[in-house]
Structure 1
Amino acid sequence: MKLNVGGIDRVLRILAGLALLAWALMGGPVWAWIGVVPLATGLVGFCPAYPLLGINTCPMNKAEK
Structure 2
Amino acid sequence: MKENVGTLDKIIRIPLGIIMIVAGIYLSSFWGLLGIIPLISGVSGFCPLYSVFDISTAKVR
TM-score, length of structure 1 as denominator length: 0.84
User: Paired residue for 2:9?
Assistant: 9
Aligned residues: 61
Deviation at 1:4, TM superposition (A): 0.3
CA-atom RMSD in angstroms? 1.3
> Greater CA radius of gyration, 1 or 2?
1
5+ long unaligned stretches in structure 2: none
Report matched runs for 1:14-33 at 5 Å. Answer: 14-33=14-33
3-state SS, counterpart of residue 37 of structure 2? helix
Runs of 4+ in structure 1 deviating by more than 4 angstroms, as ranges, are none
User: Paired residue for 1:51?
Assistant: 51
Deviation at 1:31, TM superposition (A): 1.3
Instruction: Give a deviation string over 1:13-62, Cα, whole Å, max 9, x none.
Output: 1011010001011124321210000000000000011111121000135x
The sequence identity of aligned pairs, in percent, is 34
Cα distance in 2 between the residues matched to 1:31 and 1:60: 35
TM-score, length of structure 2 as denominator length: 0.89
